Amino acid sequence: MVAPLLECRNVRKDYGALAAVDGVDLSVHAGETIGIGGPNGAGKTTFFDLISGLTPASGGDILFHGRSISRIPAHKFLPMGMARTFQVSSGFTSLTVMQNMLVSILFGSGLERPDLRIQTKHRRRAAEQLDRFNLSHLADTEVAEIPALARKKLMVATAVAHEPKLLLLDEPVSGLMPPEVDSFIEMVLALRKSGICIVFIEHVMRFLMTVAERALIMHQGKLIYDGAPAGIASDETVKSVYLGSAAEELREATQ
């Protein structure tokens, strides 16, 4: 059997007496698209921070391509083939969309001291990448001036500039209007087709149900569900955790 792309073995993160991530075991295989849901404070972002090396685990081990990455600094993750985005749109707001893409292309190369001279091949690559994400028309606009949807798309476009094997998206559609969510769904589905493994956190159940092939639900630091997205709404444990509006949204999304 092929080794998982990402493997978490009894991973935990304690903040004093609080177990933010409480002994999570998880295997993620190449090409999978996995959506993580769960109530506020369940530990989802902390789990992402552990996987992407932003915070050290209190226990357990994380393997990428079968190799432990628990002690590898975060800046080495992109060259290794793992990229992530954040809840709040990142990007250099006083630079243009094209300049942001060039920064990603030059600095994500994995070289300790990248050659900072922008060459024709970099510009060509940046233009291709903007075209792929329908951002070409904004190439010369400062990121501070572009709409929220374009900022979110740019964050993904820069993250995948070096064709990572695993892409982590933290609440990619939060704050977007429903038609914008549709546009984002289309983009992620196209990305999924390219074969990249995507793991995302999302509260917007419509997005999770449409994009994910496998769903995980976290609660109080633990995984309480791992299975088909369609099964979430009828799972008794999930139902008891997702009381109120989230349960309603889940029902609507699965109908």
Ligand X SMILES: Nc1ncnc2c1ncn2[C@@H]1O[C@H](COP(=O)(O)OP(=O)(O)OP(=O)(O)O)[C@@H](O)[C@H]1O
Chain contacts with ligand X (rule: CB under 6 A) = 15, 18, 20, 38, 40-46
Of the two residues 97 and 208, which places its CB atom closer to ligand X in the complex? 208
**Structure tokens belonging to residue 170:** 């933290």
Closer residue to ligand X in complex, CB, 60/79: 60
For residue 121 the two structure tokens come to 């091949």
Output the smallest distance, CB 81 to ligand X, in A.
24
Phi and psi for 37 in degrees, rounded to 5?
-120, 180
- Least distance from ligand X to the Cβ atom of residue 38, Å: 6
Q: Smallest distance, Å, CB 244 to ligand X?
A: 15
List 18's β-bridge partners, or say none. Answer: 15
Query: Looking at beta carbons only, is 31 or 39 nearer to ligand X?
Result: 39
The residue (of 40 and 120) whose beta carbon lies closer to ligand X is: 40
Indicate the helix (H) or strand (E) that contains 200. Answer: strand 197-201
For helices 178-193 and 148-159, give the axis angle rounded to 10 degrees: 20
Q: How far is the CB of 235 from ligand X (least distance, A)?
A: 18
The span from the CA of 19 to the CA of 41, in Å, is 11
Closer of 38 and 81 to ligand X (Cβ) = 38
Adjacency order of strands within the sheet including 59-64: 18-28, 6-15, 59-64, 67-68
Rounded CA-CA distance 102/114 in Å is 12
CB-nearer residue toward ligand X: 105 or 238: 238
Phi, psi of 30 (to 5 degrees): -50, 135
Closest CA to 221 of 76, 57, 28: 57
Residues 6+ apart with CB under 8 A from 41: none
Least Å distance between CB 145 and ligand X? 28
- Residue 238 CB, shortest distance to ligand X, in Å, is 14
Amino acid (one-letter) located at 227: G
